[in-house]
Amino acid sequence: MKRFLAVLLVLATPVFAQDADIGRAHFATHCATCHGLEGRGDGPMSGVLLIKPVNLTELSAQNGGTFPLERVIKRIDGRDPLVSHGSPMPVYGDYFEGTFDVPMKTPAGQPVLTSQPVVDLVAYLMEMQRVE
């Protein structure tokens, strides 16, 4: 019953605004050092990382044309950690981790809770996807 009420609460929660312009600023501050300003994985720190940063403009293309929303959210907010240079990615995890109080809906309609900074960053990442 508690699980049902929790799901009902999430579904009844309004979807918060996504602001790609704020996400762009978050990207420049927290991500571009490794992923590059264009998100192609060629930032100035990419050469010293144990695992080369992915080309973020090809996330949808490499996922059958669908943006891998849940995987991206969890990678950014630390629930799906990636160790690329001796510490979990993201380096700025404290900024993106913490509260999971903003829902985003996956392409299948399932809500994924995360924080507002992650919502804004993901909105920008979705905008930067390469169109074939």
Residues 6+ apart with CB under 8 A from 119: 16, 18, 102, 104
Q: Give pTM, 2 decimals.
A: 0.78
In a domain, 114, yes or no: yes
User: What pLDDT is attached to residue 76?
Assistant: 87
In a domain, 88, yes or no: yes
In a domain, 5, yes or no: no
Range of the domain at 25: 21-127
In a domain, 15, yes or no: no
Nearest to 73 by CA among 83, 59, 87: 59
In a domain, 99, yes or no: yes
Tell me how many domains the chain contains. 1
In a domain, 1, yes or no: no
In a domain, 110, yes or no: yes
CA-CA distance, 76 to 78, in Å (whole number)?
6
In a domain, 16, yes or no: no
pLDDT digits (tens, 9 = 90+) for 54-112: 999 999 999 999 999 999 998 888 887 776 555 666 666 667 766 788 899 988 899 99
